[in-house]
């Protein structure tokens, strides 16, 4: 048996059910792994005492025959989810000391199913970033390194801490949130699975808001099966979120039949972008071949407005962020920097409390929403968003799922791409379109770059058809046989 922290979530679930080990033992192994991984800086807050208490309760429930779907499973929680009585920072200085008096719906769902909290994972400030470099709590290190190159690499972002801890075997799974790629891109950079569900599938209540029309919670895991298990526990209707959808949550694990015969897989021409690395293109073609060999039928498709997705996103998301972040005013929670008047206090607090990238986006958002520019920028972007969603709706009349690369490159080094915001934004060129259309999408580790870094393939499905996305992802995973491991694994060496 592999060490307890190196099991998959589904194997640990089975081991707990069989009585091979109990939740306290499993949690102790993970607490040790979290400590061993401190050099990665992947946690803002560790909660070992709470974890052990939750594990002890879990063992009692199991003995009483009341085991939930994730009974005794230790998880990391992105520090964007409010956790009652536990520091919640969103990676920002402005939330200094904030201990929510309530629990987010997604985390409450996980605890109701028996899961155990190891701590709060580091992230880009307010989920704005693709490298985890914008966190007030410092950069997170990717457990992977390039072959023959010892420079630390970024884990991607914004769910960078979540991805790093799952890859380094510190948690069996982690929660993330995805606004334009913040689950899928770090999953790809860290060689793990990341699933962004359909908009409305998971409640947003109690999750610190970035761009409300795009934000969606989802899991980061080491296998597709684990993602299916996590999503089932996280999802569900919530009256406290008016955009939460009232439809039953399927048994996603049951969807993993491995049978995709006759499935029509769309290959979008427009995703062959200029300057894409040859190895990404080769891996994409390999993915097409794997699905064909499994009996699926690849079909060339066109999503003509793809190239407008990123600029659209960089109007819509900052606009919503400028509005959502208005609440950080130094009055009700977090940091306050004194000023002589109320306005001076607001300005001083927000000037010191928000980092450079957050300020940049709030300013852009304020500008595109200001009088005289609202129609030219914000309304225009909402119209283009309709066109992008229509592109997907049209192709899904004839195909079942779309296959693309997840990112245009493998993980980059700490400090690279930092001088040009637009170069950083381009990381999300393949993930943003599905976000704008609200569709479910997954990244599956599928191969290694020339210098030994993981690369992911992305599948995008119809709204609320996570089952087809997961089933196809399972086939890709089986074909890819991705067994490569990061250089750093907690508890080894």
Enumerate residues 220-249 that contact another protein by CB under 8 A.
239, 242-243, 245-246
Give the residue, chosen from 56, 61, 250, 359, that forms a contact with another protein under the rule CB under 8 A: 359
**Choice between 270 and 281, CB closer to another protein:** 270
Q: CA 63 to CA 273: how far, in whole Å?
A: 55
In this chain, which stretch among 183-191, 268-276, 362-370, 467-475 interacts with another protein, using CB under 8 A?
A: 362-370
**70 touches 206 (CB < 8 A):** no
**Choice between 72 and 200, CB closer to another protein:** 200
**Choice between 214 and 227, CB closer to another protein:** 214
**185 touches 428 (CB < 8 A):** yes
Distances (CA, A) of 213 to 317, 349, 431: 8, 27, 16
Q: CA 404 to CA 235: how far, in whole Å?
A: 25
- Does 335 help bind another protein (rule: CB under 8 A)? yes
DSSP H or E stretch at residue 44? strand 43-46
- In DSSP terms, which residues pair with 445 in a beta bridge? 456
Tell the smallest beta-carbon distance from residue 422 to another protein (Å).
6
Give the residue, chosen from 48, 367, 416, 479, that forms a contact with another protein under the rule CB under 8 A: 367
**Choice between 98 and 189, CB closer to another protein:** 98
Distances (CA, A) of 359 to 12, 70, 181, 486: 43, 39, 20, 34
- Does 55 help bind another protein (rule: CB under 8 A)? no
Residues 369-398 close enough to bind another protein by CB under 8 A: 370, 376-377, 379-387, 389
- Sign, Cα dihedral of 208, 383, 200, 186: negative
- Does 342 help bind another protein (rule: CB under 8 A)? yes
- Does 305 help bind another protein (rule: CB under 8 A)? yes
**Choice between 267 and 364, CB closer to another protein:** 364
Q: Which of 167, 220, 175, 221 is nearest to 489 (CA)?
A: 167
Active site (catalytic) residues: 78, 158, 182
Tell the smallest beta-carbon distance from residue 43 to another protein (Å).
21
Site string for another protein, 456-475 (x = CB under 8 A): -------x------------
- Does 50 help bind another protein (rule: CB under 8 A)? no
Tell the smallest beta-carbon distance from residue 91 to another protein (Å).
17
Give the residue, chosen from 270, 347, 416, 485, that forms a contact with another protein under the rule CB under 8 A: 347
**Choice between 21 and 373, CB closer to another protein:** 373
**Choice between 162 and 216, CB closer to another protein:** 216
- Does 362 help bind another protein (rule: CB under 8 A)? yes
In this chain, which stretch among 4-12, 174-182, 331-339, 401-409 interacts with another protein, using CB under 8 A?
A: 331-339
Number of residues that bind another protein (CB under 8 A): 72
Q: Which of 198, 202, 229 is nearest to 115 (CA)?
A: 229
In this chain, which stretch among 47-55, 180-188, 352-360, 400-408 interacts with another protein, using CB under 8 A?
A: 352-360
In this chain, which stretch among 69-77, 109-117, 256-264, 340-348 interacts with another protein, using CB under 8 A?
A: 340-348
Tell the smallest beta-carbon distance from residue 342 to another protein (Å).
5
- Does 101 help bind another protein (rule: CB under 8 A)? yes
Q: CA 36 to CA 174: how far, in whole Å?
A: 18
Give the residue, chosen from 360, 418, 468, 487, that forms a contact with another protein under the rule CB under 8 A: 360
- Does 402 help bind another protein (rule: CB under 8 A)? no
**Rounded (10°) angle between helices 48-63 and 23-36:** 160
- Does 311 help bind another protein (rule: CB under 8 A)? yes
Q: CA 436 to CA 4: how far, in whole Å?
A: 39
Phi-psi region of 2 (alpha: psi -120 to 50; beta: other; left: phi over 0): beta
- In DSSP terms, which residues pair with 401 in a beta bridge? 265, 461
Residues 142-201 close enough to bind another protein by CB under 8 A: 198-200
**208 touches 82 (CB < 8 A):** yes
Q: CA 159 to CA 215: how far, in whole Å?
A: 12
- Does 436 help bind another protein (rule: CB under 8 A)? yes
Residues 407-426 close enough to bind another protein by CB under 8 A: 420-422
Q: Omega of the bond prior to 237 within 30 degrees of 0, cis?
A: no
Q: CA 30 to CA 43: how far, in whole Å?
A: 13
**Choice between 234 and 368, CB closer to another protein:** 368
Tell the smallest beta-carbon distance from residue 101 to another protein (Å).
4
Longest dimension (CA), the chain: 70
Give the residue, chosen from 299, 348, 418, 479, that forms a contact with another protein under the rule CB under 8 A: 348
**Rounded (10°) angle between helices 356-369 and 309-324:** 100
**Choice between 340 and 483, CB closer to another protein:** 340
Q: CA 371 to CA 349: how far, in whole Å?
A: 25
Tell the smallest beta-carbon distance from residue 304 to another protein (Å).
10
**For every residue of 64-109, which 3-state class applies, written as one string?**
CCCCCCCCCCEEEEECCECECCECCCCCCHHHCCCCCCCCCHHHHH
């Amino acid at each position: 048996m592999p060490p307890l922290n190196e099991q998959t979530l589904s194997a640990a679930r089975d081991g707990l059910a069989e009585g091979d080990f109990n939740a306290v033992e499993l949690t102790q192994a993970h607490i040790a792994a979290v400590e061993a991984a401190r050099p990665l800086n992947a946690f803002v807050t560790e909660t070992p005492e709470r974890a052990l208490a939750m594990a002890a309760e879990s063992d009692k429930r199991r003995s009483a025959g009341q085991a939930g779907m994730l009974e005794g499973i230790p998880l990391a929680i992105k520090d964007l989810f409010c956790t009652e009585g536990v520091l919640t920072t969103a990676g920002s200085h402005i939330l200094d000391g904030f201990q929510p008096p309530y629990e987010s719906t997604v985390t409450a769902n996980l605890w109701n199913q028996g899961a155990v909290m190891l701590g709060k994972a580091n992230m880009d400030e307010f989920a704005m970033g693709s490298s985890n470099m914008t966190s007030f709590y410092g950069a997170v290190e990717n457990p992977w390194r390039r072959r023959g190159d010892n420079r630390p690499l970024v884990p991607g972002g914004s769910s960078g801490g979540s991805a790093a801890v799952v890859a380094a075997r510190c948690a069996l799974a982690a929660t993330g949130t995805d606004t334009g790629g913040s689950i899928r891109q770090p999953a790809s950079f860290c060689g793990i699975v990341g699933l962004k569900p359909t908009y409305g599938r998971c409640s947003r209540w109690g999750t610190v808001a970035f761009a409300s029309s795009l934000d969606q919670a989802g899991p980061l895991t080491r296998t597709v099966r684990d993602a299916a298990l996590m999503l089932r526990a996280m999802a569900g209707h919530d009256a406290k979120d008016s955009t939460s959808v009232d439809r039953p949550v399927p048994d996603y694990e049951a969807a993993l039949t491995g049978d995709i015969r006759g499935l029509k897989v769309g290959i979008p021409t427009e995703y062959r972008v200029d300057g894409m690395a040859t190895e990404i293109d080769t891996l994409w073609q390999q993915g097409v071949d794997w699905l064909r060999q499994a009996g699926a039928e690849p079909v060339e498709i066109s999503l003509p407005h793809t190239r407008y997705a990123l600029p659209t996103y960089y109007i819509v998301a900052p606009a919503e962020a400028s509005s959502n972040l208005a609440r950080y005013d130094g009055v009700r929670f977090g940091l306050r920097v004194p000023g002589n008047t109320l306005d001076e206090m607001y300005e001083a607090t927000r000037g010191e409390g928000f980092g450079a990238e957050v300020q940049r986006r709030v300013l852009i958002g304020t500008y595109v929403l200001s009088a005289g520019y609202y129609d030219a920028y914000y309304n225009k972007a909402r119209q283009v968003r309709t066109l992008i969603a229509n592109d997907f709706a049209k192709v899904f009349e004839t195909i079942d799922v779309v296959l693309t690369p997840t990112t245009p490159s493998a993980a980059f080094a700490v400090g690279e791409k930092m001088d040009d915001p637009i170069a950083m934004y381009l990381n999300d060129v393949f993930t943003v379109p599905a976000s704008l259309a609200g569709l479910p999408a997954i990244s599956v580790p599928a191969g290694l770059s020339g210098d030994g870094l993981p690369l992911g393939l992305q599948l995008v499905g119809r709204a609320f058809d996570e089952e087809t996305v997961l089933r196809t992802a399972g086939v890709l995973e089986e074909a890819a046989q991705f067994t490569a491991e990061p250089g750093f694994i907690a508890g080894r060496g």
